[in-house]
Amino acid sequence: MSTLLTDRALLWLGALLYLAGFLTGLVELLRRQPRAGLRTILNTLLIGGWGFQMAGLYVRGMAVGGCPLGNTFEIVQFVAWSAMLVYFFVGTTLHVTLLGLFTAGYAATLALVSLLVPQWDLTRGLKLFGNNPWIELHAALAVFSYGVFGLLAMTSLMHLLQSWSLKHKRLNGLFWFLPSVVQLDQINYRTLVLGVALLSISLGVGASWWVRDTASVDVPKLAVTIGVWGAYLLVGLLRWRARLVAVRFAWVCLVLFLIALLSLGPVNSSRHHQIPLLHQR
Amino acid sequence: MESSTPVLFLLGASHRTASLVVREKLSLDATRAAALAAKLRAMPGVKEFTLLNTCNRVELYGVAHTPDTLAALHAALCETTGCTPEELNGAGFTRHNHEAIAHLFSVASGLDSQIVGETEILGQVKQAYDAALAAHWTGPVLNRVFQKTFQAAKHIRTHTGIGAGQISIATVAVDLAGRIFGELTTTQVLVVGSGDIGLKTAQAFQSRGATSITVASRTLSNAEAAAAQTGGWAASLAELPELLAAADIVASSTSAPDFVLTKELVAAAMKRRAARPLFLVDLALPRDVDPAAAELANVFVYNLDDLAKIAEANLAQREAEVARCRAILAERTAALWPQVAQSLNRPG
């Protein structure tokens, strides 16, 4: 019990630091004259939040003896953690203004909602991966790719906002600080490629084990997983062929992520049919 | 100036107080400036001075040690410029001590400029100070005042919105292009029409890194002449469909009575240009770009009215910042003045 309290306390700290980062950035931007060290302050809060979240997930992982992906709470926390990790790479290499703010808001929302819905963390699967590190890798990569797609949804939202502001000539406020349309479009494409690549590797690893025991995965989970992967792959191909570009591409990425996020619930519950549940409180 | 206590003074005239005619008379070319400086150096009461001379202002900052020095300075300025004492009294102004510091802070920060928040004035103040420093016209008082002025101006620029947003049509267009394309170094700029405003806009894009500029005009010789000014390529208007498909930014300023860039023409170009957005800047009156083209995905259309509205909004925003800037500068003046007063009263 004390271990569980500790991991949740760490995850609360992480979520609150994300929220603090988001609110700090938002208040500064609404003042129209953000202070010179805003990026440093924001990144410090986000790194702190990410560190606490990782510590919380680590403690949970040690307690359950594996990757903490056993229930909706853990998966949502892991998705938020992954998105932040990808942001650290994308944000620092491409200097994308406002991406930190959007990612902070997104990660804070996911982390706080998962903490505020107790039902998501009442039960979890036991021996979920059958002590098979490959299945564990498959699951971790799949959920990590959801983190990447989450970040893609954020950059798509930024693209939509920037396009809207330029089309409607509303150029003040937060719009002033958004990155350029072309930069956001390029980031969207690269992030999509990264997400599809990670999900493809994950499914490849999973498939190599699934063919040995096809009954180990039920049909709804299989259908949803392949559906999400296929949809992202198709969007990537259409973007590559310049058939789906600009605002439409951004809309599709945003909506597709919402669908993918909603599909996590059915996938998780479907998996739990065959796995013993452990009551944690 | 009843006592003989040394005083920091400012004697000047600017666009706020003097008509263009008087400013023209007061304007100091190199010869006149040298003559005035020689007179000031010869005045026993003047210990330090700096001359700020721009198209909008002539301002003389200095330290005077005798009560009648200001009258002598007035006379010297009139004698050098040919301005009558009445004209100078009517159009000029004087400030003493902390008021002179406050004025200099305000000028260097761009608050007193015709275009509020412009940055050129800071460079001009720096030049004026550097010239005075090199000629040994300044001393401990002015050196301190000017150094603090540069710090104050930098603080204002960094911590307030006085310089935010572009306020000319061409630079607003360049700013918008930056928000669409980011870096402009790889963008293709197409200027339709060989008019002056289109070329100036093209040059503004060049100043932000755009290297590929094509000028298309109904008459090829006009296009060639205009292209020579920008170092770009010339083309005929007949090639517009191909040029449009290749361009990222189009600045159009023809005198055509109808739309030169119709929605159909733009739509056809968009089909041939993959995922790149297209920025159409309509600088013509009557308009060259069909407003319906803005309905196309990834096409951004701005006309003269749109650009002017943005420039006005930016200017209004700058002006709204003036009161805040003045408050900051007043604090800095109040902090500096006791040190300057001490320096003024120091013997020697």
DSSP B102-156: HHHHHHHTTTTSSSTT-SHHHHHHHHHHHHHHHTT---HHHHHHHHHHHHHHHHH
Q: Which is nearest to B111 in space by CA: B21, B20, B207, B16?
A: B16
Q: What is the mean pLDDT of chain B?
A: 90
Least CB–CB distance from A169: residue in B180, B274, B306 = B306
Q: Look at the pTM and tell me if it is higher than 0.90.
A: no
C-alpha A204 chain-centroid distance: 21
B318 is a domain residue: no
Residues in chain A closer than 8 A to B176 (CB atoms): 166, 171
Interface probe with A: pick from B179, B280, B312, most Cβ of A within 10 Å: B179
B115 confidence band (pLDDT: 50, 70, 90): confident
Confidence (pLDDT) at B348: 60
Give the domain-ending residue among B159, B189, B224.
Answer: B159
Q: Report how far Cα B30 is from the mean position of its chain's Cα atoms.
A: 22
Residue A165 CA to residue B81 CA, distance in Å, equals 53
Residues B219 and B142 in one domain: no
* Composition of chain B by helix, strand, coil, percent to 5: 55, 15, 30
B181 touches chain A (CB under 8 A): yes
Q: What is the pLDDT of residue A266?
A: 67
- Would you say residue B345 lies in a domain? no
A183 touches chain B (CB under 8 A): yes
Cβ of residue B304 closer than 8 Å to a chain A Cβ? no
Model pLDDT, residue A174: 79
Nearest CA in chain B to A178: B179
Tell me whether residue B83 is one of the annotated catalytic residues: no
Q: What is the pLDDT of residue A1?
A: 44
The closest alpha carbon to A69, from A119, A138, A16, belongs to A138
pLDDT band at B23 (very low <50, low <70, confident <90, very high): confident
Q: What does the pLDDT read at residue B197?
A: 85
pLDDT at position B232 over 70: yes
Span of A270-279, B111-120, B314-323 with lowest mean pLDDT: A270-279
Same domain for B242 and B152: no
- Do B179 and B131 belong to one domain? no
Distance of alpha carbon A19 from alpha carbon B70, whole angstroms: 62
First to last CA, chain A: 7
pLDDT value of residue A280: 45
Q: How many contacts does A have with B, using Cβ atoms within 8 A?
A: 54
The boundaries of the domain holding residue B253 are: 169-309
Last residue within a domain, chosen from B97, B132, B159: B159
pLDDT tens-place string over residues B182-224: 989 999 999 999 888 888 888 889 888 898 899 999 889 889 9
Domain boundaries, position A78: 2-279
Q: Tokens representing B151? A: 């710090």
User: CB within 8 A of A43, min separation 6: which ones?
Assistant: A91, A100
Query: Strand, helix or coil at B92?
Result: coil
Taking the C-alpha atoms of residue B205 and residue B184, their distance in angstroms, rounded to an integer, is 8
Give me the pLDDT at residue B188, please: 93
Region B298-327: mean pLDDT is: 90
Give A4: exposed, middle or buried? Use CB within 10 Å, 0-12, 13-18, 19+.
Answer: middle
Residue B82's region, left for phi above 0, alpha for psi from -120 to 50, else beta, is left
CATH of residue B120's domain is: 3.30.460.30
* Predicted local distance difference test score (pLDDT) of residue B205: 92
- Mutate which: A182, A239, A247, vs B, most B CBs within 10 A: A182
> Looking at the predicted structure, is the pLDDT value of residue B91 above 80?
yes
Of the candidates A174, A236, A187, the one whose C-alpha atom is nearest the C-alpha of residue A86 is A187
With vertex at residue B36, the alpha carbon angle to CA B138 and CA B110, rounded to the nearest 5 degrees, is: 60
Do residues B11 and B155 share a domain?
yes
User: B297 at the A interface (CB within 8 A)?
Assistant: yes
Q: Name residues whose C-beta falls within 8 Å of residue B15's C-beta, 6 or more positions apart in sequence.
A: B23, B56, B57, B114
Please tell me which residue of chain A has the smallest CA distance to B274. A242
Residue A276 has a pLDDT of 47
- Judge whether B110 lies within some domain: yes
Same domain, B201 and B252: yes
Token couple for B235: 């083309």
Of B176, B179, B274, Cβ closest to residue A242:
B274
B179/A181 touch (CB, cutoff 8 Å), yes or no: yes
CATH number reported for the structural domain that contains residue B175 in this entry: 3.40.50.720
Number of structural domains (chain B) is 2
Residues B74 and B183 in one domain: no
* Contact assignment for B179 to A245 by CB distance below 8 Å: no
Pairing status of strand B46-53 against strand A123-125: unpaired
Residue type present at position B240: L
For residue B56, tell me if it sits in a domain. yes
Q: Say if residue B105 is in the same domain as residue B140.
A: yes
Residue B119 is predicted with a pLDDT of 84
Are B12 and B152 found together in one domain? yes
Identify the domain boundary among B159, B183, B199: B159
Q: Determine the residue type at A260.
A: A
Residue B314: inside a domain: no
Question: Which tokens hold the place of B89?
Answer: 């009294």
Say yes or no: B285 and B240 in one domain: yes
List the one residue out of A135, A276, A142, A133 whose CA is nearest residue A217. A135
What is each CA distance from A3 to A63, A280, B147, in whole angstroms? 7, 11, 61
Q: Sheet holding B7-14: strands in order across? A: B46-53, B57-64, B7-14, B93-96
> Is B324 part of any domain?
no
CB–CB of A180 and B179 under 8 A?
Answer: yes
pLDDT of residue A215: 72
Q: Please count the other Cβ atoms lying within 10 Å of the Cβ belonging to residue B251.
A: 31
Closest CA to A63 of A145, A8, A112: A8
In chain B, what residues touch A242 (CB-CB under 8 Å)? Answer: 274-275
Terminal C-alpha separation, chain B: 20
Which pLDDT score, from 0 to 100, does residue A27 have? 86
Distance from CA of B311 to the nearest CA of A (A): 12
Whether B272 is covered by a domain: the verdict is yes
pLDDT at residue A279 in the model = 44
B271 touches chain A (CB under 8 A): no
Chain centroid offset of residue B292 CA: 35
Q: Which band of pLDDT confidence, cut at 50, 70 and 90, is reported for residue B331? A: very high
The residues of chain A scoring below 70 in pLDDT are: 1-5, 32-34, 125-130, 266-281
Are B147 and B187 found together in one domain? Answer: no
Distance (Å) from the C-alpha of residue B186 to the closest C-alpha of chain A?
12
Which residues of chain B make contact with A167, given a CB cutoff of 8 A? Answer: 294, 300
Does A47 contact B at CB distance below 8 Å? no
Q: Which whole number is the average pLDDT over B97-107?
A: 96
Mutate to test the interface with A, among B298, B299, B321 (most CBs of A within 10 A): B298
Residue A128 vs residue B146, higher pLDDT: B146
- Asked if the Cβ–Cβ distance from A162 to B310 is below 8 Å, we say no
- Of B180, B275, B313, nearest to A166 by CB-CB distance is B180
Query: Are B116 and B315 in contact, with CB atoms under 8 Å apart?
Result: yes
**Residue B142 sits in the same domain as residue B183:** no
Count of structural domains within chain A: 1
Tell me if chain A has a CB within 8 Å of the CB of B164: yes
Judge if B104 and B140 occupy the same domain. Answer: yes
Rounded to a whole number, what is the distance in Å from the CA of B314 to chain A's nearest CA? Answer: 10
Query: Quick one: pLDDT at residue A270?
Result: 59
